[in-house]
Copies of this chain bind each other. A is one copy, B any other.
């Protein structure tokens, strides 16, 4: 159950597919040379593999627990989080001004993948702090930045996102928590928040809760929500900790997975009111929260990729070790099960989907860096639109994929997979939250259809499809069955995706329910086509390197075979998904409520 970061694949993707050399030339990204990137990744891999990964299974067995308002985290978490902060890992992508390393997202991305492969439960505290930092950087006052950012970036304090209430899950319009202005610039906050990840813990001196609430005169719905900072301990003017605030953890949940990560019910204001300060302007809270949420959604996509990689590594190790049955091609004695074709098929499915999602996510990270750092405003705007198209796909598809992979991971282990001590089952349990939190797959798909496809008439989607077509043409320049098969499946895939984009745009006004009935299949289709596109680009790059005779030939050959597998076994589902979306809405909505 150890974890070795797949540095070779990570660096291949960064250099060959995501254009690290170009990112490094952007203003503000000059430090991110390929050599620095390699050094940072190697250090991070050591920390994640050596310090965090060993905590994953023990912390599932002995999760965080609540007693009398306090949460004690699993053994080893406290020391590991201290080390994480001190080594500067919390600050990788944050501004140097507040103590961060100021590295581009493309470099932070593999670090986040590694931390999540090591332990999703552990990584969550860092992910939430990242979100809080983003929100304060964007919308916080100078005073708020001065008070909170350095502490968050250093890992001395941590952040949380307080959105959900019992009646307000996916629908934030239903938020009821209220914030009453006290006339002195502060507010008193009253309400109950649920599902608050690391809402209470013992890893840091203070917890910076970012809380959605309504002021007394706020309009109804999402336009009346404001964002507040409500720290666990109030902060004195000199930065030292003051009084305990009236924000208390009344319980934590008993969950299917990520058990070491405490999921809190927080009660604000039961003892007179929790003191908070407004972030930005009143009634713009949702907008600010979306800043956190978009960063967090991308991060949850990386959780899926990290979890899939970990499950894959564990399955490979078992398949190489476990001896059972003869080789089909006729050896005498029993062989390790990695020789059996269906075990191979499962491992290749796990591997190819993980690699495809990684490639798409890292390419997305690079596009985000261009969107933030490129000198040309037009390029920035186009890149931002492309990145924003990709975010729901990376979040939705990579996490759904991680559940397929974790399921295969258990299956490779046979009966041993069902025994908790083996550890494969933990990934299967942990993975299930990833398609739910930070917006369910349906919420991602709504975003993909509404804001990301319909709003611009499919323009960004079609621009991306044009790039896919350019890769198809490149594939045709190579001979051999592998490249032919990839070209055929990618062409069918891009045709399917284009047809679906056109269907969505053409039908949204006349039959909105039919379009949304196909929203999750559309997201899945986009995921496998764009993932397949990246695998095809990877195969092209690998073939070029092989032609040059440079680098690790075994790695490049494996990459081509893995890309071929993805095309035959995953991308081949594209035409069926198109049929389900374009022709398949009738059955979805046909039944009345009573017929269920």
Contact = CB atoms under 8 A, between A and B. Distances in A.
A193 to B, nearest CB: 12
Interface in A250-265: 253-257
Given A568-B583, A593-B338, A256 B428 contact: yes
B341 A589 contact: yes
Contact of A576 (B167, B319, B575): B575
A386 to B, nearest CB: 25
A425 B431 CA distance: 12
A524 to B, nearest CB: 12
A403 interface: yes
Nearest to A313: B596
A53 B435 CA distance: 29
A588 B341 contact: yes
Interface string A432-469: 11011100111001100000000000000000000000
Interface stretch (A103-111, A123-131, A558-566): A558-566
B171 A325 contact: yes
A442 B342 contact: yes
A254 B421 contact: yes
A63 to B, nearest CB: 12
B195 A415 contact: yes
A33 interface: no
Contacts of A414: 169-170, 436, 440
A121 to B, nearest CB: 13
A237 interface: no
Interface in A89-112: none
Contacts of A341: 513-514, 516-517, 519, 585, 588-589
Contact of A589 (B336, B344, B567): B344
Contacts of A513: 328-329, 341
Contacts of A429: 256, 429
| Copies of this chain in its oligomeric complex | 2
Contacts of A256: 410, 418-420, 425, 428-429
Interface in A129-169: 164, 167, 169
Nearest to A593: B338
A572 interface: yes
- Consensus secondary structure, chain A interface: helix
Interface string A531-572: 000000000000000000000001101100110111111001
B418 A436 contact: yes
A191 interface: no
A347 interface: yes
Nearest to A589: B344
A254 B419 contact: yes
A566 to B, nearest CB: 8
Contacts of A437: 415
Nearest to A337: B170
A314 to B, nearest CB: 12
A175 interface: no
A232 to B, nearest CB: 23
Contact of A587 (B324, B436, B512, B562): B562
A407 interface: yes
24 contacts: A169-B414, A173-B334, A256-B410, A329-B512, A338-B593, A338-B596, A342-B446, A342-B517, A342-B519, A407-B432, A410-B432, A411-B435, A417-B432, A418-B432, A482-B586, A554-B594, A558-B591, A562-B591, A564-B587, A565-B587, A566-B587, A572-B577, A572-B579, A572-B584
* Closest CB pairs A-B (n = 4): A565-B587, A568-B584, A561-B590, A342-B442
